[in-house]
Chains A and B, each alone.
Chain A
């Protein structure tokens, strides 16, 4: 199995927890001063981290650049918490893998 096929299979089996980790990895890049060890998935990210509107645009941009995932402006509200991110983004990731 090639590396690409391995990656494709991994992505195809992504879970909501994987999506949460994808989002946390992005936040770690854009907000490097934040402690992400105890982020509550059900709580709004802005209520527990120092994130502003430009940071959410960074999350949208990184999803686009790193994962080819588009989030229309009308859906930005879906990125409010890790849980809502997972709920909203998982179908997009799976669709990207042809599932």
Chain B
């Protein structure tokens, strides 16, 4: 079997609770600036949450915003910003050869909860249920809104992969490019989860909802006193192309997709399985033709739950215990858990390391949990390192879905 074509990242657009561009996001990650708000959650009162403040009207008409979904607006903002970053002459791009592949943790809960509340104001009479409900809640909605906004006529769909979804979107796009299904892909992950009370209540009753008197300290993976997840919204969408196409148009190449793996625990709906996580990372390394000691940054998934962080640390020790040049960090300590966007955003914040050789830290650690004291963990302060050439991005999700994606600095082979 011949070698599949190499896939590269040539554009990136994002919105995170602490930044609406990669430049702003990265600056805050290096400066140790978290940005978690407190919002009023229906039926639950004030809760810490990561809120994005991008200007949706930059790329959408007000009617589009009204009729669409928050997930759609996040997606459109990120995709449009990615397009601008990629430097493509959009008028000349064959839109039928463009695909949109967006990872989501869930979709439709926000709109369904809103409509249930709406008709409760009218005696639960369903004649007051909006006719916008179905187009808003179909699972392809966020990707479909992107195609309508941008005139893309190639394939679009979402990839439901719980909190592994951001990686899954990128992996799907790489596969479709390698298969020749499309010539250009917009891919990544998005989430509007903070607008549904159900996800807050679910985590609360699972004993996994984070809290702190200072919202900016509520998300504290690896800290001994961590007490759960801070729910956030956000998105990160990348432009992906085959390397040859990118070179032919003289594109700026941000990174190369080196390898990946998605596997399943097949054990428990919520409790992670470090054995399967280990296998997932090892398989990604094998496919990337890299050894553990070749990885410079491991961007962890850790969400600040009591057990989940420890499980991931077991897996990482299994693979990286003898890798003194491997540095480990976490982005959720700054922005909370962006669910379907988490993997894509967490990778994005690390990509500038290829240029500046800084590793952003994991913050909010007052007392490091001994069970999470990984060698190479970058704690509270950024660390300058000799060189960053590879990043391993972990994203795991409920029902035991694990994903590991490796990207590398582009070098002419």
Closest residue on chain B to residue A32 by CB atoms:
B62
A-B contact count (CB 8 A): 22
Q: Which of B126-134, B205-213, B311-319 contacts A (4 or more CB under 8 A)?
A: B126-134
Number of residues of chain B lying within 8 A (CB) of chain A: 11
A54 touches B67 (CB 8 A): yes
With A and B bound together, what is the CA distance between A60 and B63 in angstroms?
A: 17
A64 touches B66 (CB 8 A): no
Closest residue on chain A to residue B129 by CB atoms:
A61
Give 5 nearest A-B pairs by CB, closest first: A32-B62, A57-B131, A33-B61, A33-B62, A33-B63
Q: Give the residues in chain B near A32, CB-CB below 8 Å.
A: 62-63, 66
| Contact residues of B: prevailing secondary structure | helix
Q: Give the residues in chain B near A69, CB-CB below 8 Å.
A: none
Q: Within 8 Å of chain A (Cβ to Cβ): is B90?
A: no
B127 touches A30 (CB 8 A): no
With A and B bound together, what is the CA distance between A4 and B131 in angstroms?
A: 31
Residues of A in contact with B, size category: 10 to 19
Binding site for B on A (CB under 8 A): 30-33, 50, 54, 57-58, 61, 64-65
Q: A30-B63, A32-B66 are in contact. Are A54 and B128 (CB under 8 A)?
A: no
Which residues of chain B from 65 to 114 have a CB within 8 Å of any chain A CB?
66-67
With A and B bound together, what is the CA distance between A20 and B127 in angstroms?
A: 24
With A and B bound together, what is the CA distance between A65 and B128 in angstroms?
A: 7
Q: Give the residues in chain B near A65, CB-CB below 8 Å.
A: 122, 128
Binding site for A on B (CB under 8 A): 61-63, 66-67, 122, 127-128, 130-132
Closest residue on chain A to residue B132 by CB atoms:
A54
Q: Which of B61, B62, B67, B131 contacts A61 (CB 8 A)?
A: B131
Q: Give the residues in chain B near A64, CB-CB below 8 Å.
A: 127-128
Q: Give the residues in chain B near A31, CB-CB below 8 Å.
A: 63
A sample of 21 inter-chain contacts (CB < 8 A) reads A30-B63, A30-B66, A31-B63, A32-B62, A32-B63, A32-B66, A33-B61, A33-B63, A50-B63, A54-B67, A54-B131, A54-B132, A57-B131, A58-B131, A61-B128, A61-B130, A61-B131, A64-B127, A64-B128, A65-B122, A65-B128
Q: Give the residues in chain B near A57, CB-CB below 8 Å.
A: 131
